[in-house]
Structure 1
Amino acid sequence: MDSLITAAARALAAGDPLGALNRIALRDDANALALRGIAMAQLGDFVRARALVRSAARAFGTKEALARSRCIVAEAEIALASRDLAWPAKALDHARAVLEAHGDHANAAHARYLEVRRALLIGRIDDAARMLAGLDPATLPAASQAAHELIDAGIAMRRLDTRSARAALERATLAARQAAIPSLAAEVDSAWRILDAPAARLIAQGSERMLKLADVEALFASDAFVVDACRLCVRENGTSISLATRPVLFALARMLAQAWPGDVPRDTLILRAFRIRHADETQRARLRVEIGRLRRMLHAHAGIDATSRGFALKPHRAREVAVLALPVEDACAPLLALLADGESWSSSALAIALGASQRTVQRALDALAASGKAQSFGRGRARRWTTPPMPGFTTALLLPVELASD
């Protein structure tokens, strides 16, 4: 490998894409194409970056399996950065195996980190944690160590383990200083801001206040009876009852919790839970049926007593009842949370991350665009969606994650 290629590679490793391009911008050999692609990715031109890396992979051919595998890893990272979650995972796994076989352990670990980041992005927290546990960052470069700790912090924040998240971010800060890459240091600073930003609203006995992630963790660790509107479940003493697929029951539980220790009139429950304009005897009969279903689901934690004008929640053991609500109530909150990372998303990637149909996501995006909360650029398959980050709020409780399981 000639001196210009070596110097360009060192510049990219130090986070200096312009310095790398100054050395190889006019070259079109395979090594130069690959480095130019990585440089363009660092500068944010993902479309051009992906084209260059693919050209480099073709130029290397099948005989240079090691170099070709590195190009596949680079393309996968570009796809992840541009929020294209449909890239072939099998190709990345094969490239990682080739890198391991040739002794390129640093790039093999980087390929694994890409798999972990993708799993974390789409809410597969347990899978991400399992894959991350199989990686030892001690032998890797400082930049890779920082990436490892950032992922570890992300997993801990999704699990509401703020102590572990802070410890991971402290390690990430030290590794980022050793790497001396400004963009990496900025990513660590952003993670710190997310950890310390308001995460949810606590509604209890007619008052509201904002909570940070540490406050939410403390609330869940207490003996309070919590109706969690972030994850659509009911929590008490470390257990949870998911109502994500029972929207009427959740609406009833939330109204009863917000009114505690008082009751809620029957007509109010009917109009809000059933989303109708007028209550009649048929709807009152339906309310009795739904209240009965909710009683059965909550029987181990609370009862629901009938009063002269409606129903009231009666916890068996908890001395406090609270509702944990989103910092901003919006039907498209999970979608906005994904867009708030500042990256450009395709509608197909958003559908994968949210576990929804692409058509449903597209309708929501059109509604957000009409209200000025999202914007798109490009056409057809190249169309991407983005929005300015949600100011002042962390999105850890809004993103896809399995926190509401029993």
Structure 2
Amino acid sequence: MDSLITAAARALAAGDPLGALNRIALREDASALALRGIAMAQLGDFVRAKALLQRAARAFGASEAVARAKCVIAEAEIALASRELGWPVKALDAARATLEAHGDPVNAAHARYLAARRLLLLGRLDEAERALAGFDAAPLPLASRAARELVNAGIALRRLRTKPARAALARASYAARHAGIPALLAEIDDAARVLDAPAARLITHGGERLIRLEDVEALLASNAFVIDACRHVVCQSGTRAALAKRPVLFAIARLLAGAWPGDVSRDTLIAEVFRTGYADESHRVRLRVEIGRLRTELQALAGVGATKRGFALAPHRADQVVVLAPPFDERHADVLALLADGESWSSSALALALGTSQRSVQRALDALAATGKVQSFGRGRARRWLSPPVPGFPTSLLLPAPLQGD
């Protein structure tokens, strides 16, 4: 390996893509193409980066299986950074197996990290944990250890375990600081700020206020009867009733919780839940049917009693009923929450992460774009969505030094 390739690889490992390009920008050999692709990815030009890496993979000979596997991993990381969550996982698994067979544990571990991070973005937390459990990060370089801890922190945050999340972020910050990679340290700092930012609105009879993730964790561990409008569940002391796929039932439960310990009239329930200003006997029959279904869903947590004018919520054990709502009263808050990570998403990736249809996501994006809350670039299948302003550089794209050819 010549000195320019080595110097460019070290520049990329230190987060200096321009320094790398100054050395290899005009070269067309396979190693230079791969490094140019990684540099362009770190600069945010994912389309050109992907093309360069594909050229590099073709340029490497059939006997250079390790180099080709590294190109596959780099291309997978670009897909992850550009939120193309439908990329072929089998190709990444095959590349990881090749690297393990040829004695390259660092990049094989990085492939596991990428697979785990994709699963985390899709909300498949158990699978993400299993993907991380297959290797020991202690002998790995500091950058790889920081990347692993970032995924651990993300899993803990998704599960509302703030202490393990802070501990994982502290370990990640320590590793990134000693590795001397500013982009990685910036990504960790961004993740740490999530713990101190408003996570939800707590709505009670005394009004509403913004609370942090730690407060949400404490509330869910208490004896309070919680209507969680962020995840569309009803819970108390670890017992949960998931209503994410039952929007009508959740809307009724939220209205009843807002009026507790009082009741809600039948006319109000019909108008708010069925979105109609005219109530006839068919609406009243439908309301009775939905109330019966809600009683079945909440039977372990509460009853729903009929009153003279309507219905009232009757928790079995709780002495407090509260509503957790998104921090901002906004339609399509789930889409905005994903776009808030600063990366560009495709509508298909958003649909995968939200577990809904791509057409529903597209309608939400069009509505948000009309009010200036999101913006897009590209056309057709290359179209990407993000929250303004456009980030200056990607922070999630950082490859261990051996991937560039050290």
Shift of 1:145: 0.8
**Alignment of structure 1 residues 330-345 onto 2, 5 Å:** 330-345=330-345
How many Å separate the matches in 2 of 1:94 and 1:61? 17
How many Å separate the matches in 2 of 1:253 and 1:338? 26
Shift of 1:308: 2.4
Partner of 2:168: 168
Range moving further from structure 2, 126-135 or 99-108:
126-135
How many Å separate the matches in 2 of 1:117 and 1:258? 38
Structure 1 residues 145 and 26 mapped into 2: Cα distance closer, same or farther (>3 Å)? Answer: same
One-letter amino acid of the counterpart of residue 246, structure 1: R
One-letter amino acid of the counterpart of residue 75, structure 2: E
How many Å separate the matches in 1 of 2:128 and 2:200? 25
On the 8 A contact 2:375/2:388 being kept in 1, the answer is no
Secondary structure of 2:138's match?
helix
Shift of 1:286: 2.3
How many percent identity over aligned positions? Answer: 72
How many Å separate the matches in 1 of 2:297 and 2:42? 51
How many Å separate the matches in 1 of 2:300 and 2:121? 34
Range moving further from structure 2, 308-317 or 115-124:
308-317
Partner of 1:400: none
One-letter amino acid of the counterpart of residue 259, structure 2: A
How many residue pairs get aligned? The number is 390
Secondary structure of 2:210's match?
strand
Bigger relative CO (Cα 8 Å, ≥ 6 apart):
2
How many Å separate the matches in 1 of 2:179 and 2:231? 37
Partner of 1:152: 152
How many Å separate the matches in 2 of 1:94 and 1:289? 52
One-letter amino acid of the counterpart of residue 60, structure 1: F
Partner of 1:232: 232
Shift of 1:285: 2.6
**Alignment of structure 1 residues 3-402 onto 2, 5 Å:** 3-388=3-388
Shift of 1:293: 2.1
Deviations 1:306-331 (A, max 9, x none): 22222211111111111111112333
Partner of 1:395: none
Shift of 1:389: 7.3
Shift of 1:133: 1.9
Secondary structure of 2:199's match?
strand
On the 8 A contact 2:30/2:57 being kept in 1, the answer is yes
Structure 1 residues 228 and 389 mapped into 2: Cα distance closer, same or farther (>3 Å)? Answer: farther
One-letter amino acid of the counterpart of residue 327, structure 1: P
Range moving further from structure 2, 349-358 or 83-92:
349-358
Task: State TM-score, norm by structure 2.
Answer: 0.93
How many Å separate the matches in 1 of 2:255 and 2:319? 18
Q: CA RMSD in A?
A: 1.4
